[in-house]
Amino acid sequence: MKAVIITIGDEILIGQIVDTNSGFIAKSLDRIGVEVTEMISISDDKKHILDTFAQLQNKVDVVIVTGGLGPTKDDVTKKTFCDYFNDELVVDPKVLAHVTQLIEGYFKRPITQINKDQALVPSTCTVLHNQVGTAPGMWMKKENTVFISLPGVPFEMKYLVENEIIPKIVREYKRPYIIHKTILTYGQGESLVAERIENWENNLPDFIKLAYLPNPGRVRLRLTARGTNKEELDAAIEANVQSLDAIIHDIIVGFDDDETIEVVVGKMLTKQKRTISTAESFTGGKIASALSAVPGASNYFKGSIVSYATETKVNVLEVSQEVIDQYSVVSAQVASAMALNVKKILKTDYAIATTGNAGPTKGDSDAEIGTVFIALATPDDIIVEEFNFGQPREKVIDRAVIKSLEILQKEILKNVH
């Protein structure tokens, strides 16, 4: 099965909002073996929508459209569906009852005609009940293609995808299996990783494809297998993952998209009943944000001191002014003092500290732009490493965050027996 996802809305095209709906829909379809071949964003224009529908007709099995289902005049999706299917809008009694209950029962205000118009749907569509909003979904088929319309509000869209669309596709269509396995690596760039696994990659079976997904400081390797026998696909993926692990075991830190390095170190800290804190300068709390975003982080993450200004390092973190004057605020000595002091202040087992010049100017130090010092205070020692992550500023910060967590992860592994 092949599908195309269309988002409708001028606010997406001008960058006013970011389209997150397409990613969620694509993942949901992928899990049931539906291949998304294209994602399209188009304006709230009837002719543009009709032309796009005509181009996709009989080219794919499913077209999922989000947006344009609101009650205002600029939302044209329902009327456009009627034009494309030579249909007319009628009131759906069940939708009207739901909208009335929602407006008068929950919001405690009289229902208006605009609210009632949310119950208008094409007469021949299959209505997808929206329990969490007023705009119903619509399912309509023309020749070999199903067109599905969903509201653009993310939580309403997600409800309909999970409770209406996915179950209906599973019931009505026979689909192949698509199996993914993502291996998370840290510490080496894409080209070096590719060089190390070249022979392994060349010997993958034809039904397994490898994709490189690089980010600053890390590379995800995604294996995708397609076929009709799920057990055989699972076994083949697992065998190839094991052979890959034998080659690059030193840089593999986890598997699958939910196991980012912050998840990995969180599990390690929880298992060892250890705690961590951070003292951040140029990273501005991003390490703390990454750690605290993991569910259950309160078990091991105790807090952070974001000492962006030099005076904060002195007055809050208690870094010696003499050390700063002698070695510069961007130095191994200052990073070390930051880590040791926040570890003491917040009473943790580990502490990460960052200081550096991310640019675009040098600030309070003469160190070259891109220079970074990362310190890790452990239960028994202090580790400080120097890097130059170049430019631009965003790259320096992101790489420092990843490298800090990588240093922490490697140190924790030393205590795993």
| Average of per-residue pLDDT values in the chain | 92
Cα separations (Å) of 348 from 65, 87, 127, 258, 413?
Answer: 50, 66, 55, 26, 18
Give the pLDDT score at 401. 94
Nearest-10 crossing angle of helices 77-84, 46-56: 50
Nearest-10 crossing angle of helices 393-413, 261-272: 30
CA 288/CA 404 separation, integer angstroms:
11
Residue 40: pLDDT above 80?
Answer: yes
Give the pLDDT score at 11. 85
All domains of the chain in start order, with CATH: 2-172 (3.40.980.10), 177-255 (3.30.70.2860), 261-413 (3.90.950.20)
pLDDT in tens, 252-285: 877 876 577 899 899 999 999 999 999 999 999 9
CA 89/CA 191 separation, integer angstroms:
56
Going edge to edge, which strands form the sheet with 62-66?
A: 35-42, 2-8, 62-66, 145-150, 137-142, 126-128
Say if residues 146 and 85 touch (Cβ distance below 8 Å).
Answer: no
User: In terms of Cα–Cα distance, which of 23, 119, 22, 112 is closest to 69?
Assistant: 119
Q: Which residue has the tokens 């269309």?
A: 6
- Long-range contacts at 296-300 (CB < 8 A, ≥ 24 apart): 296/266, 296/270, 297/266, 299/269, 299/270, 300/266, 300/269, 300/270, 300/274, 300/275, 300/276
Say if residues 370 and 391 touch (Cβ distance below 8 Å).
Answer: yes
Query: Which backbone phi and psi does 339 adopt, to 5 degrees?
Result: -65, -45
Q: Hey, is 161 helix, strand or coil?
A: helix
CA 276/CA 299 separation, integer angstroms:
10
User: Lowest mean pLDDT: which of 42-46, 131-135, 363-367, 388-392?
Assistant: 363-367
Please list the residues that pair with 222 across neighbouring strands. Answer: 182, 211
Give the pLDDT score at 323. 95
pLDDT in tens, 313-342: 999 999 999 999 999 999 999 999 999 999
Give the pLDDT score at 57. 97
> How many other β-carbons are positioned within 10 Å of the β-carbon of residue 334?
28
CA 292/CA 245 separation, integer angstroms:
29
Residue 157: pLDDT above 70?
Answer: yes
Residue 377: pLDDT above 90?
Answer: yes
Helices then strands, counting H and E runs in the chain, come out as: 17, 17
pTM for this one?
0.64
User: In terms of Cα–Cα distance, which of 205, 212, 275, 280 is closest to 243?
Assistant: 205
Cα separations (Å) of 218 from 165, 187, 272, 376, 401?
Answer: 35, 6, 25, 20, 11
220, two tokens:
């995800």
